[in-house]
Amino acid sequence: MNKITAYVKDSFRELTEKVTWPTWMQLQQSTMIVLAATLVITLIVLIMDFATGNGLRFIYKQLF
């Protein structure tokens, strides 16, 4: 039981004293970066899907 209690105390101390939490501004900036990256990757996948679909459709029309 002592090990569990020590673990919980150490974990709490680490979260409250040793961890450096981001400021509100840093959090907002990081969120905007993630959103922008998500949009860029989504657009790339959309373009690849569109090109592949049209390419395969063209090939199938030529073969059949």
What are 2-57's pLDDT values in tens digits?
899 999 999 999 998 988 999 999 999 999 999 999 999 999 999 999 999 999 99
Instruction: Evaluate whether residue 39 is within a structural domain.
Output: yes
Write 15-21 long-range contacts (CB < 8 A, 24+): none
Q: How many domains does the chain have?
A: 1
Q: How confident is the model at residue 1 (pLDDT cuts 50, 70, 90)?
A: confident
Instruction: Evaluate whether residue 47 is within a structural domain.
Output: yes
Q: Which domain holds residue 27?
A: 22-64
Q: Residue 17 corresponds to which tokens in the numbers above?
A: 């004293």
Residues 53 and 47: their CA atoms lie apart, in Å, by 10
Contact in structure between 39 and 46 (CB atoms under 8 Å): no
Instruction: Evaluate whether residue 12 is within a structural domain.
Output: no
Instruction: Evaluate whether residue 44 is within a structural domain.
Output: yes
Instruction: Evaluate whether residue 13 is within a structural domain.
Output: no
In this prediction the pTM is 0.66
